[in-house]
Amino acid sequence: MIRYYIRVSSIEQKTDRQLVAYKEADKVYIDKMSGANKDRPRLKEMLEELKENDIVVVKSLDRLSRSTKDLLDIVSEIENKKAILKVLDRNIDTSDAMGRFFLTILGAVAELELANIKQRREEGIAIAKENGIYKGRKVGSIELKGERLERFKKFYNLGMNKTDLAKEFEVPRCTVYRWIKVLQDRNEIN
């Protein structure tokens, strides 16, 4: 059986690019959450259902994991079940030693690049703070009251996506998620 695993980092992101990349799968598993977290429901389901001689396909390594350790753990679990991993964009196949070696190197490079991005971002923020440009993110507590609260609930109930809500209310998207959770806890929205 060919099992195609797809992951995007958030609910708003589309899976189209990955779905179009491979169409021979017998079963498709889609997670919409960060690859930094190995505890993903559809990934777990796929690994539990995996049988001998199955093939796990991913478009790219970072769809499987952002951490070299987690990546190697996942690959080990696949191999322990006597299944094979194929990575489309690098033409990697773990059925041979060279494929496994190449996979390990690429995983380490991907993790290094992620660490470099984080370091550059932190350095940029520190410089901006020194120059008085960066004052931190906008306050995002549940400051919705009166007309603004009613407008938010209306837009949310009409199906406006989180990115557009964040732009409309001039707050970070994480604030929109926090507002939604608070309003759901209060039973003011579904």
Q: Specify the DSSP class assigned to residue 26.
A: S
User: H or E stretch including 55?
Assistant: strand 55-58
Strands (E), the chain: 2-8, 27-32, 55-58, 84-87, 92-93
Cα(94)–Cα(106) distance, integer angstroms: 13
Token couple for 159: 């199906």
Query: CB-based contacts of 85: which residues, under 8 Å, 6+ apart?
Result: 55, 56, 57, 58, 64, 75, 78, 79, 92, 93, 94, 103
Exposed, middle or buried, 164 (CB in 10 Å: 0-12/13-18/19+)? middle
Cα(72)–Cα(67) distance, integer angstroms: 9
For the chain, the distance separating the N- and C-terminal CA atoms, rounded to the nearest angstrom, is 38
Cα(97)–Cα(115) distance, integer angstroms: 28
Q: Does the annotation mark 141 as catalytic?
A: no
Candidates 9, 34, 60, 95; catalytic one: 9
Q: What residues act catalytically? A: 9
